[in-house]
Structure formats: structure tokens, C-alpha cells
Amino acid sequence: MSNITAVTEFLLQRFSDIRELQLIHTALFLLVYLAALMGNLLIIAVTTVDRHLHTPMYFFLKNLSVIDLGYISVTVPKSILNSLTNVNSISLLGCAAQVFLVFLFGGSELALLTVMSHDRYVAICRPLHYEITMPHGACVRMLAASWFSSCLNAILYTASTFSLSFCGPNAVYQFFCDGPQLLRLACSTDHVTEDVSLAISTCLAVLCFMLIVGSYARIFSAVLRMPSVEGRSKTFSTCLPHLVVVTLFVTSAFSAYLKPMSDSPSPVDLLVSVFYALVPPTLNPLIYSLRSQDMKAAMGRLLWPKHFSKEKLSIRSKFLLHGLP
């Protein structure tokens, strides 16, 4: 035991050992990160400034953008910096922080997406009860419950993971510190605590996913009974992308955390991690906001206020010309 040295840092996996490919990876990750950053910051700004968007749906959307910003900022900037400097090490404390924050933001995102699917169900299927069912106080409590449960889950998983001993190889086959990859490096053979915490996380994720699917199933059932073809197509074109991204997020995360770990790195593992770490924060601004006419109008009022004020004045003049108030 005296010859065993405790691990104080980990080495993250590179996408390639060829310098040119590393720079390509840096450029791609930087473009994705900037797109996610701009899209989510724009949503936060628009939903905060525009009083027309102070509704439960856009309240949840703004908080989803905050979560997405945190989620993608935990892993991508560090990976970009590693590729640029050709240094792929991360301290033990930094690794623990990544594991905690990935679980915190990932869990909060899934919990909030569950709440948002319920919000859409009430708005579409029970519109007369919407204001009673989704008052501002209830929305705040739902958001607080999402953060609180995810924080507890993240603390439990991180504590159980880093209660293990790391004294051997320190190469993580991932571009960020991922729980399953760390488990492969642990010297401890007793993983009961970590297995229990992972089982709890899996059960919560499955429950959230079932609730999301259930909400959208009831929405689709109600939409199919709509007499308006335009209304049906609009609802389907809005809700189906939501469900696709949620399914991609959950299935890729399950694939990473539940499949047996191999002793050799696999490009598939890196690709799967990209799907659940980068894709949702980047696509959410597109599918949740840019397809909304209200969001487009609000963005126009924020980005081009003079144009919209002139247009509003022109419309007002036409009304006055016809003797309308």
C-alpha cells in the first residue's frame, strides 16, 4: 500500500492527437458554444424586457435558458482551452466540480422540461383552468422544486463518486469528467453507494421522461380532435421537436451512464456525450423560441425598436383615418 499514490489530477480525452484535427474540434466547439450563448442570452433578455412575455410559459423558458447556459459552460470552454493549449489535465477539485454541475444542470433541465410539458398540456387541453392551475406562485414553487431536487441528487452522486479511492490510472476517456468514466478508474471495489445514487438518479429521470411523454400524448390526443387542420399542424410542428430533443437527451444520457464500461476508449462514447452535453442547450433556443410568433415579434421590438415603433405608428394612423380608436 505504501507504493500506491493518490490521484490529484485527471487527464481528459482528446478528440484527436493530430494538431490540425484538434484545431478543427476547437473551431466547431467554439461555434456551437457561441450559438448556444447568443441564443440563450437573447431569450433571457427578451423574456425579461418584454412585458408581453411575462407569462408562465416564457417564465419557464427564461429559466431553461439560464440552465442551458450553465450546462454547456461547465464542459465546453474547458475542452476548448485544453485543445488550444494542448494541456488536457484537470485537478481533482475541478473534476468534482464538473461532475456536480453537470448533474445539477442536467437534472434541473429534465425536471424543468417536465414542468414545461405539463404547462403546455394545461394550456392546450384545459385552457379555461390555465390561470387557476398555473399562477405565478405555483410556477415559482415548481421551479424551486426542480432546482432543489436536482441539487440534492447532484450532491448525493458527487459525494458517492468521490468517496471512492483513485490511486491508479488517471486518464478519463471523455472530454469532461463523467461519473461512469471515473468509476472505471476507482481502486475501490465497493461501489454500493455510487450504485445506489445512480439508481436513484435513473429512477427520477425515468419518472420525468414518462411524465413528459404522458403530457405530450394527451396533447396529441386532444389536437387530433381539433377541427382546424392549421391548428393541428401548428401544434404538431411545435410539440414534436420538443419531444425529439427530450428523447435524444434522455436516451444518450442513459446510454452513457447505464452501459457497462470498457477498458479501451471508444469514439462512440465521445459522440454520445456530445449529444447529451451540447445538443440540448444549442437546440432549445431554436425549437422553443424561434418557432414562436410572439418571441419573433418580441425579438424584433428589442433588436429594432425604431422600425417597430414606426410600424406601430403607421397602424395607429390607419385606424385614426377610419375613425377607429
- CA-nearest of 60, 17, 13, 33 to 169 is 13
* 323 dihedral zone (left: phi>0; alpha: psi -120 to 50; beta): left
Segment 276-282 shows an average pLDDT of: 87
Residue 153 domain-assigned (yes or no): yes
**All three cell numbers of 183:** 468509476
What's 159's domain CATH number? Answer: 1.20.1070.10
Percentage of the chain beyond pLDDT 90 is: 29
Whether 279 is covered by a domain: the verdict is yes
Instruction: Let me know if residue 303 belongs to a domain.
Output: no
Number of structural domains in the chain: 1
What is the average per-residue pLDDT within 314-325? 42
Tell whether 219 is covered by a domain.
Answer: yes
> Would residue 323 count as lying in a domain?
no
What pLDDT score was predicted for residue 264?
Answer: 66
Q: Which pLDDT tens digit goes with each residue over 178-208?
A: 888 888 888 876 777 878 888 898 999 999 9
Please give the grid coordinates belonging to residue 252.
Answer: 444518450
Per-residue pLDDT at 129: 86
Domain holding 52, by residue range, is 9-291
Q: Is residue 318 part of a domain?
A: no
What pLDDT score does 49 carry? 86
For residue 147, pLDDT beyond 80: yes
Maximum average pLDDT range among 80-84, 154-158, 224-228, 259-263:
154-158
Mean pLDDT of the chain: 82
Burial 100-121 (b: 16+ CB within 10 A, else e): bbbbbbbbbbbbbbbbbbbbbb
Residue 101 domain flag: yes
141's grid cell? 414553487
Residue 278 belongs to some domain of the structure: yes
What is the pLDDT at residue 97? 93
Q: At what angle do helices 192-224 and 229-258 cross, to 10 degrees?
A: 170
The pLDDT assigned to 231 comes to 65
